[in-house]
Amino acid sequence: MARVVIVDDDQDLRRLLERRLVREGHDVVTAADGIEGLALIREYQPDLVVLDWMMPRMNGIEVTQLLRDNPDSGGEGVRILILTARSQESDVVRALSAGADDYLVKPFSSTELAARVSSLLARR
Amino acid sequence: MTDISSLILQGLAAVLVLSVLGLIATVVVTAVRDRIRTARRERLSAVLLDICDGEDLPAPRSTRDAETIADLAVRLATSLKGSDREALSAWLQRSGFPGRARAWMRRRNPASRLRGVALVTTINGPRSGRALVEMLADPHRRVRAGAARGLGITGAGSDIPALFSAVAAGRIPAGLAAMSVLRIFPTSGGQLESGFSSRDPSVRRIAAEIAGRLELADARPRLERLLGDSDATVVSAALAALVRIDDPEALTALRRERDRLADDPTRREFERTISRLEALEPVG
């Protein structure tokens, strides 16, 4: 069982992701935007973060950069999976350059998401 | 005089009190209505997630519930694919939503018709394409655009002429139709024939652009036909498409059309295309 933080401003999607990952046996908490997500990551010290890119207040890439640039922010060693509708090659490169470990494009399959989460956690 | 002043003051006070009471009543009613709406949304959102998990739940009884669940399903479906989306679509079909969507598409209110269009797209059932083609003639611009986008998701090659016709009739923008046709993914130039032979230059142009983008090699003779088009943007699109298709067989038509042109930018565009294709021409 791993600790997972899901940060997505879409409430229904957040719930769906939470249900899927809880069913996989993970301990999951959720946040609705980047700033709330950062606070939760600091407090919760998760093994993995699922981050939406486009969110109000602070986007997923900014959160990723903050986590990677400040190891004491709770982001040390944390795996980051970016989940987004942005599918251009340059977007993937930008997310990975910012420090994301993996990238999944919406529309996505929750089965694929669960498999990617397992794969990322196995790399710890 | 004093009596009249007193009556006026009393009247004003009554109006003020009534206004304040009216305001309070509006605030309370709005708050209660929002709370009911939020509670309904929360309840039905949970139902929808159960459906994505494969549970077979009964169809909603009330129209309000059906409308809310349709809106939630449409929104959620845009982020999902695979088994979650299939489960959602199958449940919507089993639960009578295709009939509801058709009814919504006939309503006077454009927002209801748009909801119907979005739902038909999400359900993606056997008759979705036909229903969306009909909505390309809707009087409201947003409904027509929704139908065109929906055809890009649910449509087949046989729906492409309807998209081209809608552009020619000024019902949808050419760019939107092009995106939808690209998503339908025609596999032969023949499926774009209605576009190549359209009277509208913007339709001929997007047909050429799509043929090039998808590298439809069998579209070459149709693209060659467009080299003599009266519209310069159509000719440019045909030249660009021939470059992408990369077939030296087009050289004969290209040279013939070039020789008819004076020394102008179009002729130079032909020269560049010919140079690109000559590099591929078999020697001897």
In whole angstroms, give the CA distance from residue B104 to residue B99.
9
Specify the CATH number for the domain of residue A77.
3.40.50.2300
- Nearest CB among A106, A111, A112 relative to B79 is that of A106
Specify the CATH number for the domain of residue B147.
1.25.10.10
DSSP symbols for A61-117: HHHHHHHHH-GGGTTTT-EEEEEES---HHHHHHHHHHT-SEEEESSB-HHHHHHHH
Do the chains contact at B79 and A109, CB–CB below 8 Å? Answer: no
Q: Tell me, what's the pLDDT at B53?
A: 81
To the nearest whole Å, the CA of B121 is away from the closest chain A CA by 15
Q: Tokens for A102, please give them.
A: 């993996």
pLDDT in tens, A47-106: 999 999 999 889 999 999 999 988 777 667 899 999 998 888 899 999 999 999 999 999
Instruction: Give B-chain residues touching A6 at CB under 8 angstroms.
Output: none
Q: Are residues B115 and B158 in the same domain?
A: yes
Do the chains contact at A11 and B81, CB–CB below 8 Å? Answer: no
The verdict on residue B256 lying in a domain is yes
Do the chains contact at A110 and B84, CB–CB below 8 Å? Answer: yes
User: Which stretch of DSSP H or E encloses residue A58?
Assistant: none
To the nearest whole Å, the CA of A18 is away from the closest chain B CA by 11
Global confidence as pTM: 0.77
Neighbours of A69 (CB within 10 A): 11
| Residue B78 in contact with partner chain A when CB distance is under 8 A | yes
Domain that holds residue B171: 64-185
Q: Tell me, what's the pLDDT at B273?
A: 92
Specify the CATH number for the domain of residue B229.
1.25.10
Question: How many cross-chain Cβ pairs, A to B, lie less than 8 Å apart?
Answer: 47
pLDDT in tens, A7-52: 999 988 898 899 889 989 999 999 999 999 999 999 989 999 999 9
The amino acid sitting at B101 is: A
SS3 state at A5 = strand
Band (B219; pLDDT cuts 50, 70, 90): very high
Q: Which comes out higher in pLDDT, residue B126 or B221?
A: B221
| Residue B84 in contact with partner chain A when CB distance is under 8 A | yes
Overall domain count for chain A: 1
To the nearest whole Å, the CA of B282 is away from the closest chain A CA by 35
Q: Which residues contact A25 (CB under 8 A, 6 or more apart)?
A: A1
Domain that holds residue A34: 3-122
ipTM for this model: 0.78
Q: Are residues B153 and B90 in the same domain?
A: yes
Q: Tell me, what's the pLDDT at B1?
A: 57
Q: CB-hemisphere CA count at 13 Å for B278? A: 8
Overall domain count for chain B: 2
The verdict on residue B269 lying in a domain is yes
The predicted model gives B5-31 an average pLDDT of 92
Band (A124; pLDDT cuts 50, 70, 90): low
In whole angstroms, give the CA distance from residue B277 to residue B255.
11
To the nearest whole Å, the CA of B266 is away from the closest chain A CA by 33
In whole angstroms, give the CA distance from residue B200 to residue B198.
5
Band (B282; pLDDT cuts 50, 70, 90): low
H-state helical runs in B78-126 = 83-94, 97-105, 110-123
The predicted model gives B3-27 an average pLDDT of 92
Q: Are residues B154 and B219 in the same domain?
A: no
